[in-house]
Amino acid sequence: MAAVPVGSTMDLARPVSGSLPWRDIEALFLELGAEVSERAGSRVAVVLFGEVRVFHRPHPSPDTDKGAVASIRKWFEEHGVTP
């Protein structure tokens, strides 16, 4: 199993945080080797684990909603990435 990189500021533990800045999540994707690209509107495509997932970049608040954090955590767990 892989682990979230040491020094990552993203907390994937339960209960799900409602105050994770999107920039921290995006930085974690990049640390894990993802390719991140802009899509229409506030959408961001993430290519990781041979899959493409599209997420909504939050605005005007920089914090990612709990549903998105839970979805990302589940995706990581499916591929052996643990907090």
1-60 pLDDT, tens digit each: 455 554 454 555 666 777 789 999 999 999 999 999 999 999 999 999 999 999 999 988
Plot region of 60 (φ>0 → left; ψ -120 to 50 → alpha; else → beta): alpha
What is the mean predicted confidence (pLDDT) over 53-69? 90
- Tell me what pLDDT residue 36 has: 97
pLDDT for 7:
45
Q: 82 versus 64: which is more confidently predicted? A: 64
pTM above threshold 0.85:
no
Cα–Cα distances in Å, from 54 out to 1, 3, 6, 7, 15?
A: 24, 22, 25, 25, 23
DSSP-assigned letters across all residues of 11-53: --PSSPPS-EEHHHHHHHHHHTT-EEEE-STTEEEEEETTEEE
